[in-house]
A and B are shown apart, each in its own frame.
Chain A
Amino acid sequence: MLEVKNLSKTFTIHILGGKVIEGFGSISLRVAPGEFLGLAGRSGSGKSSVLKCVYGTYLPTTGEVWFASESHGRVNLARGPEQTILQIRNREMGYVSQFLRIIPRVAAVDVVAEPLLRLGTDPDTARGRGAALLERLMIPAKLHDAYPATFSGGEQQRINIARAVIWEPRLLLLDEPTASLDRGSQEIVIGLLKELKQKGTSMIGIFHDRASMEAIADNVLEMANGSKGHGLS
């Protein structure tokens, strides 16, 4: 599904006189269909940067990111045309961070249903599925039509997860999706992710706590600081 070869990332900051900051060293990994790969390592080891390089939010400095796309065949996302990456993002690859990027003045249920509308689901069905998912994540119905800008951190995070899993992408990148959730909500989220995995979605995930990661990951990639080595456990 996904094969990453010798990926690395450095940032050149011109406004600091061309200072070079290392994101992470050479990383290689593979994710099979329906596999969950956990990324582990201390903060600053570049875990989030790896996900952003795969998603295209960061431009990799070296390396290849081969994705087996349903519509485009095998594509190197690190060098792919922007149009192709956008189409793959719209139809096959999702990304969820711990922060909800607020879309102003859009109700919670519509934030969640939006990816389905993009894929052509009719609006009533999409909203219905959005509401059901929010219920399951214990967001009370009275909040469904409110704007998430005013929600608590934990509520926003659950909306974010709902938006990411509702359309069942083929590859899902998760950057600490449960960071500000209580135990109960965390378990619900892990349950949702397990279901998604069973339906065949491949995932790469970063978790702040080892227990959540071990509950779901098939394999774990340990990133060293500056991260040259990589051992699969």
Chain B
Amino acid sequence: MKPLLEVRGLTKLFGDGCEHCLPGGVPLEEGNRCSRCGTVVGCGDVSLEIHPGEVLGVVGESGSGKSTLVRLIHFEHEATAGEIYIHNGQDASERQNLLRQSSFRQRQVRSRSMGIVYQNPYLGLRMQVSSGGNIAEKLLAAGWRNVSEIRKRASYLLERTEIPVERMDEPPANFSGGMQQRVQIAKALSNNPQVLLLDEVTTGLDLSVQARVLDLIRNLQRELEIAMIVVSHDLGVIRLLCQRTLVMRYGRIVESGLTDQLFEDPQHEYTQLLVSSQL
């Protein structure tokens, strides 16, 4: 079976680099910042695969490069090196490294095949535009043109994410944090993406609100069989949602495995520390 998303040697350096740290950034033993030139490894030689319908977790402390990884996959940063392929059966150009394509083509792939939900709803939503309008914007980017169908799709998604449909003309600025997160999820799902990227989506929410958002994600995942990358520093969230997990530190993957194996038989020193730090 072919993976849906394939990432090879993905690297992002923040800074120009120097003789000491090029091409791949400073060695892991030295951390993530080059002591000579100050270049930081956001993401170093990361490879991963996701199969259709699979949920992959990414854990690590803040600053470990989890969000950078997701944003590179979403074409928000320009990668220093690496390859990304999506095998979705839609394009003839499957064997083309998406990182080497034009930004127009990258936007096209993103609009058709991806959805993202950020920790901070201000990044994913236009707060002053109506919730329906936020969803419409994504649908327009994905090529939808019929206004009444766009409206129908938006109200369906808001209903599924438990936002009262009579509030679809209100801007997210009026909503609570949990509701904003659910509008973001509705927007991210609007184009029927094959890969959904979730970047710390429950961080900072009250426990009961967090529970509702997680239940929503779990149910949607099972129903739509959508592949996901779930980034979280919360091991409980990872354990609940993900079958396989990567552990990141200093921009690098230090360990990967089945989620239960990582939690019960962690091999790397850092993973052992992480697991034993759990409340």
> B264 to A86, Cβ gap below 8 A?
no
A83 interface residue per 8 A CB criterion: yes
Query: Does A211 belong to the interface (CB within 8 Å)?
Result: no
A15 with B269: CB separation less than 8 A? yes
- Considering the complex, give the chain A residue whose CB is closest to the CB of B214: A104
Interface string of A77-102 (1 = CB under 8 A from B): 00000110110000000000000000
CB distance from B218 to the nearest CB of A (A): 9
Per the CB 8 Å criterion, the residue count for chain B at the interface is 21
- Whether A58 pairs with B261 at a CB distance below 8 angstroms is yes
**In contact, A104 and B240 (Cβ under 8 angstroms):** yes
Indicate whether B88 reaches chain A with its CB closer than 8 angstroms: no
Question: From residue B256, how far is it (CB to closest CB) to chain A in Å?
Answer: 8
Closest-by-CB residue of B relative to A85 is B258
Contacts of B1 in A (CB 8 A): 83
What is the minimal beta-carbon distance from A103 to any residue of chain B, in angstroms? 8
Measured CA separation A117–B223 after assembly (Å):
11
Rounded to whole angstroms, the CA-CA distance of A13 and B271 in the bound complex is 11
Residues of A in contact with B, size category: 10 to 19
Choose from A15, A58, A105 the contact partner of B215 (Cβ within 8 Å).
Answer: A105
The reply to whether A57 and B215 contact each other, CB–CB distance below 8 Å, is no
B269 close to A59 (CB less than 8 A) = no
What is the bound-complex CA distance between A88 and B260, given in angstroms?
15
23 pairs from A and B in contact (CB 8 Å cutoff): A11-B265, A13-B272, A14-B268, A14-B269, A14-B272, A14-B273, A52-B264, A52-B265, A57-B258, A57-B260, A57-B261, A57-B264, A58-B265, A59-B261, A59-B265, A82-B257, A82-B258, A83-B1, A83-B51, A86-B244, A86-B258, A104-B240, A117-B222
Measuring CB to CB, which residues of chain B are less than 8 angstroms from any residue of chain A? 1, 51, 211, 214-215, 222, 240, 243-244, 257-258, 260-261, 264-265, 267-269, 272-273, 276
Top 6 nearest A-B pairs by Cβ distance? A14-B269, A58-B265, A57-B260, A57-B264, A14-B272, A15-B272
